[in-house]
Chain A
Amino acid sequence: MAEILLSEAEKTFILHGVEEGFRCDGRMRLDYRPMEVETDVVSHASGSARLRLANTDILVGVKTEIDTPYPERPREGKIEFFVDCSANATPAFEGRGGEELGTEISNSLATAYQSSQTFDLTALCILPGQQCWKLYIDILILECGGNLFDAVSLAVKAALHNTRVPKVKGACLDGGTVDLQLSDDPYDCCRLDVSDAPCLVTLCKIGDHCVVDPTAEEETCSSGSVVIAITEKSLVTSVFKTGVGSFHPQTLIDILKVGQTIGLSVNKALRAALLEEEQQGRKKECFGFLK
């Protein structure tokens, strides 16, 4: 993350504010900043989404390619996450600088989507043991303003919702090689079921309380945060801790419970926004990168 230099007085100010329940930008402890999401911004990708959470700007592109399934899991497709912290976001990411953070985020997404209850990989199978769809989910961090995990997971969910996988009309095994017949109509696609896809919620511990959606300054003041992946059905699919602090077990239990309620509301809000965007259909105003 970018080096934010804060004086001791500023840190104390933020700490006392959180204890009283006020934050520097006027939010309560459990309020998110306003978010904007737009799907279908990249024309060559099978699905894409751009999410802006105040200063954090994430662009996700999903490409579908044909691949052979793993030998021990012949009926499952594949999904791969790659996070690119571009030097655009902050000079600290120049060269190999952002690699560690990028690996951490992609590993956390891979763990969150690992269970078959979150994302059914059997839907990506074409011919068991021979061919399957592989989804390459590429995440570009264009601007870094704190709270990367949440923004990335919401953008990924929106992009997967927007992804259109071409419909395979027929597949036959012709002497060792697979012959696929795709539908003639380029708009004949199937959508992916993302109703159970998780959203990551970061709960940052500042002093004795935890705050949601920390800004970069608030993140510098905290000793540690807990990131939880919650699905719409209130299932916890991944929990891990970031930062150098440790937690008392009771604090951890409280944080998990708070995270669950917030995760549910965030999931619902994203769903509502995506449905609204879809309903607009042709009449939707495309802002792309102009806004």
Chain B
Amino acid sequence: MAPDNRRLQGPESTFSYTLYIPNNRTDHNVVEQISSDERRKDGRKLNEQRRIYVKTGVVSQAKGSAYIEQSNTKVVCSVFDPREIPRKSGYSVNGELYCEFKFAPFSCIQWRSHQPDAFEKECSLILRRSLEPAVCRHEFPNFQVDVYALVLENDGSALAAAITCAALALADASVPMYDLVVAATLGVHGDKKFMDPTVEEESLCNILPPDGRSRNHGIITAAFSPAHQQMSEFAQSGAMDIDCATSSIQLLREACESIYLLSQQCLLKGVTKMLKKKQKEIKLDLSSDRIAC
């Protein structure tokens, strides 16, 4: 829904019923699960990612689109044709990328409003910053390419999934690019590093760990282009010491390299499917010509 900038939303007086559920503190359960046998609640090891499914060409009305599923996190991304930059009079040598990241109102545990809030606006900025270095902006001067990412279900690492999905959608839309961008998320809590955290683990990483060996906590989302070995975005929140931040760069890089192979395969599949379809169409045209004459 388009944001209505002239209307000021009054404060919402509704809140989630989960507040009244006794013993709703899930963070203790998550920590207990790990300390028993080094495996997380869903059976993964600390540095294991969830299984990913990607597909391009899902939205028929968009120039290019992609859909990604990372276990329960589902994101769909559409890219539209370049159009003139609205509200701009001067000429710009490079094209612009307009990115919008939105959670569907039913996607998270708590209801999200239709108007984008501050967190969604920040995610839109991060999405744009991750994709801009990879797009050949000089190929469409004075034009803007729209990228819309919608999270249908949020089970953690929605932003990283959206970045990977958006890069595939851009490639599917035939926007000239230097390389595909892939992204991964790392959650830090105390001295444990969760690769590809679920929504429970993410909320755990936003809280200060109890007095223990280390008081590091936070979430890091990093976007990487493996062909040129360039990190296009590194967004960290929380509080951690510098060694934790620098060591996570290597972990995220390895995770991104493995996702990159999947992205490439998906794109290849999309292209071969399109070529086969074209071949079939050419054959049908020829046969229909024979029938006509």
By a beta-carbon cutoff of 8 Å, the part of chain A in contact with chain B is 71-72, 103-104, 106-107, 110-111, 114-118, 224, 226, 231, 234-249, 252-253, 256-257, 260
Closest-by-CB residue of B relative to A240 is B235
Neighbouring B residues of A249 by C-beta, 8 Å: 224, 229, 231, 249-250, 253
Residues 29-46 of B at the A interface (beta carbon under 8 Å): none
Q: Assess whether A107 is in contact with B237, with CB atoms less than 8 Å apart.
A: no
Q: Assess whether B234 is in contact with A239, with CB atoms less than 8 Å apart.
A: yes
Judged by a CB distance under 8 angstroms, whether B59 is at the interface is no
Q: Assess whether B19 is in contact with A72, with CB atoms less than 8 Å apart.
A: yes
Given known pairs A236-B241, A246-B133, the reply for A241 and B230 (CB within 8 Å) is no
Neighbouring B residues of A116 by C-beta, 8 Å: 207-208
Neighbouring A residues of B134 by C-beta, 8 Å: 246
Given known pairs A236-B242, A239-B234, A248-B231, the reply for A107 and B132 (CB within 8 Å) is no
- How many residues on B have C-beta within 8 angstroms of the other chain's C-beta atoms? 43
Whole-angstrom distance from the CB of B256 to the nearest CB of chain A?
10
Closest-by-CB residue of A relative to B244 is A236
Neighbouring B residues of A103 by C-beta, 8 Å: 118, 121, 125
What separation, in Å, do the CA atoms of A237 and B208 have in the docked complex?
A: 12
Q: Assess whether A246 is in contact with B238, with CB atoms less than 8 Å apart.
A: no
Whole-angstrom distance from the CB of B185 to the nearest CB of chain A?
14
What separation, in Å, do the CA atoms of A77 and B204 have in the docked complex?
A: 20
Given contacts A237-B237, A238-B237, A246-B230, 17 further A-B contacts (CB under 8 A): A71-B19, A107-B118, A107-B122, A114-B238, A226-B234, A236-B241, A237-B238, A240-B126, A241-B234, A242-B129, A244-B129, A246-B225, A247-B230, A249-B249, A249-B253, A252-B234, A253-B249
Other-chain residue from B118, B220, B230 in contact with A248 (beta carbon distance below 8 A): B230
Other-chain residue from B125, B137, B230, B245 in contact with A104 (beta carbon distance below 8 A): B125
Neighbouring B residues of A234 by C-beta, 8 Å: 241-242
Given known pairs A104-B125, A256-B246, the reply for A236 and B230 (CB within 8 Å) is no
Whole-angstrom distance from the CB of A197 to the nearest CB of chain B?
12
Q: Assess whether B229 is in contact with A248, with CB atoms less than 8 Å apart.
A: yes
Judged by a CB distance under 8 angstroms, whether B199 is at the interface is no
A-B contact pairs, 23 of them (CB 8 A): A107-B121, A114-B238, A117-B239, A235-B239, A237-B237, A239-B236, A240-B126, A240-B236, A241-B232, A242-B129, A243-B129, A244-B133, A246-B228, A246-B232, A247-B231, A247-B234, A249-B250, A252-B231, A256-B242, A256-B245, A257-B242, A257-B246, A260-B242
Closest-by-CB residue of A relative to B250 is A249
Judged by a CB distance under 8 angstroms, whether B215 is at the interface is yes
Given known pairs A115-B217, A241-B129, A242-B129, the reply for A236 and B239 (CB within 8 Å) is yes
